Amino acid sequence: RHPAPQRRESAAAPRSRVRDRDDHGRSRTAARRHRPGHRARGRTRGCGGSQIWNEHQRIADHDRADRGEDGGCRGRRSGRRGHQRRSAEARDPSRRDQADRARVAPRAIRRALRAERGGLPLRVRRPAAVAAGAHRGHHREEQAGGLASGDRQRSLCARRGSARLRLSGLAAPARAVIEAAIGSLCTACVVRVERRGEIDVFATGTLCPDERAGPDAPCTAESLFDLASLTKLATTALALSFVRQRVLALDTPFRELVPDFRGGRKDDVTLDHVLTHTGGLTWWLPLWKEVTTLEEAVWRAAQEPLAQDLGTFTYSDLGYIMLTQGLATIGGRPFPDLVREIVLGPVEASTADFGPRPPERCVATEEDTEWRKRRLRGEVHDENAFSVGGSCGHAGLFGTAADVAKLARVFRDGAVIGNDLAALARTERVKQGNVRRGIGLALRAPDGPMVGRHFSVDAYGHTGFTGTSLWVDPQLDLTVVLLTNRVYFGRNNDDATYRFRIAVHEAVSAPFA
C-alpha cells in the first residue's frame, strides 16, 4: 500500500481553514448573509441555491422572454430542460402560447395560469400574431398598459409619471363577457382598467370582420375608435378651462356665446344650463339633411324653440353643437385647434383627434346602407358632425382607450380645469328620476346603475352612441374605459348594450367591492 498523498498548502494562502469559519461553523460568506442589515446584491449564479432577483435582472429576463430567448439561470441542466421544452412547444403551438405567457407572468399569475389552463390577458406576442385556436375574423391581442409599440413589447415594468405599469390582471374578470360579445354585439372591444397606479388593458376582435388577418386586422390597445359623445368631455373641459381663466362664467347667458340664440325664454339660458342639459333644448335634429357647414348647423339649431322648461333635464346634442361655435369665438381660433392645445395636449392624449383618421388604424364603426352607402372607418359616424366637416362639440373625436383614460384626468385630477372646478363638475346638479348629472358628467343613479352594483354613488362618467364609455369611481379608485363598435351590426341593440356594460363593469369592480 502506498501512503495517501499529502495535500500541499498554497504558499499564497497559508491561513488556517478553521479561521474561515465562524463560531457556528458557517463559512464567512454564509455568515455575512446572517448579519443584520445585510442585503444580497444581484443574483446568484448557476442553477443551484436560492435565486436572488433584483429589478434590473427581472426586466432583462422579461425582455429575453419577449425575444423568445430562454430566461432564468443559464447552467447546463437548465439548457437541457429548455431544449426539451422548446421541442415540445414546436410540436404543439398551443403549448408554446401558454409557455410564453407563463414565462413572463408574475408568480401569482403563473399559478393561476397552471390552475386555469386558459390563462389571463397578457400580451406577449407580436402585434400581427394570431392567437392559437382563434377562428377567422376573431383575433385576440392583449396589451399591458399601452407599453407595446413597434415590433415588440418593450418591458413589462416601466415608469410613466408616478404610475407603475405592469400586467396586473385587473381586466381579467371581464374577459369572458367581452369575448362572448364579439361577433354578436360588436366586432372589436378594448377595456382598460386603472386602479392605484396599476393599468391593465384587454383587447379582442378585428378592425373589420371580413378582412384577412394581417397587421391592421386585429383590434389592439392602439386601435382608434369613434368616441362619439365622449367628445362632449373634451368640449366640457374646454368650456371649464375658459371659466377657470375667467373668460367665461357658468352664469354667462348663452346668447352671448351664440348671438342667433335669443328671444323669449332663450334669453334666460346660461352656459351652466347647456353643460348640464337643463336648458330646455331639443335633444336632436337631423341637421345633416339641410346643412353643410358649422355656421349653418348652429343657425338652424338656434332657431329651434325650447322644448322643455328651464331646469328640466333633456340630454341634448344641439346645445353642444352651438357651443362649438361659441367656444371658437371666445378662444379666437378654430374649435379643433383649441381642443388639441388646451385639453388633449396637456393631458397627453397624443393620438386623440378629430376625423377623418387613417382607416388602417380605425375600427370600422358601421355599414351605412342608408346615407353614405359605405363602410364607415376613420370618418365620424354621427351624421350631424360629418355634415359640418367631422369636428364638432358633441361628436367627432377618435382615440384609443389610453386617450380616454387620460381625458379622465380632467375631472379626476383637476388637469386643465383645476381641482375646484373638477370637484364642482362631479357634484350632483340635477336629480330627475333615475338621472343624476354633474357639469358635463353623468353620475351613478342608484335605481338605474349602468355600471352595475359595485360602483359607489360617487361614480361619474359618460357614454357614447357608438358603444364607448368612461366611468370613474373615486371610492374604489377605479377607472374603466370600455370601447366597442356596437353599432356595426345595427343600431337597435340598446338593451343588449346596456346589459353588456353592466356585466363588464360588475366583473372588473367585484374584486374591490
| pLDDT for position 124 | 29
CA 45 remoteness from chain centre: 40
H helix and E strand count, the chain: 17, 18
| Nearest-angstrom CA–CA distance, 494 and 491 | 7
| Nearest-angstrom CA–CA distance, 115 and 100 | 16
Phi, psi of 148 (to 5 degrees): -75, 135
62-84 pLDDT, tens digit per residue, is 444 443 444 333 333 334 444 45
| Nearest-angstrom CA–CA distance, 505 and 513 | 12
Of 498, 141, 216, nearest to 377 (Cα)?
A: 216
Give 246-249's long-range contacts (Cβ < 8 A, gap of 24+). 247/330, 248/330
| Nearest-angstrom CA–CA distance, 288 and 384 | 5
Of 326, 206, 226, 225, nearest to 274 (Cα)?
A: 326
| pLDDT for position 447 | 78
| pLDDT for position 449 | 72
| pLDDT for position 450 | 83
| Nearest-angstrom CA–CA distance, 182 and 218 | 12
Tell me the fold of 228-443. Beta-lactamase (3.40.710)
Reported pTM:
0.69
| Nearest-angstrom CA–CA distance, 266 and 279 | 8
- Tell me the pLDDT of the chain (513 aa) as tens digits: 445 545 444 444 444 444 445 554 555 554 554 454 444 444 333 333 333 334 334 444 444 444 344 433 333 333 444 445 555 555 555 444 444 444 433 443 334 333 333 333 333 232 332 233 333 233 333 333 333 333 222 222 222 232 333 445 999 999 999 999 999 999 999 999 999 999 999 999 999 877 654 445 799 999 999 999 999 999 999 999 999 999 999 999 999 999 999 999 999 999 999 999 999 999 999 999 999 999 999 999 999 999 999 999 999 999 999 999 999 999 999 999 999 999 999 999 999 999 999 999 999 999 888 899 999 999 999 999 999 999 999 999 999 999 999 999 999 999 999 999 999 999 999 999 889 999 999 999 887 678 999 999 999 999 999 999 999 999 999 999 999 999 999 999 999 999 999 999 999 999 998
Of 25, 366, 79, nearest to 228 (Cα)?
A: 366
Domain locations along the chain: 60-73+81-119, 228-443
C-alpha torsion 95→101→107→113, nearest 10: -50
- The DSSP annotation for 63-118 comes to HHHHTT---S--SHHHHHHHHHHHHHHHH-HHHHHHHHHHHHS-HHHHHHHHHHSS
| pLDDT for position 217 | 78
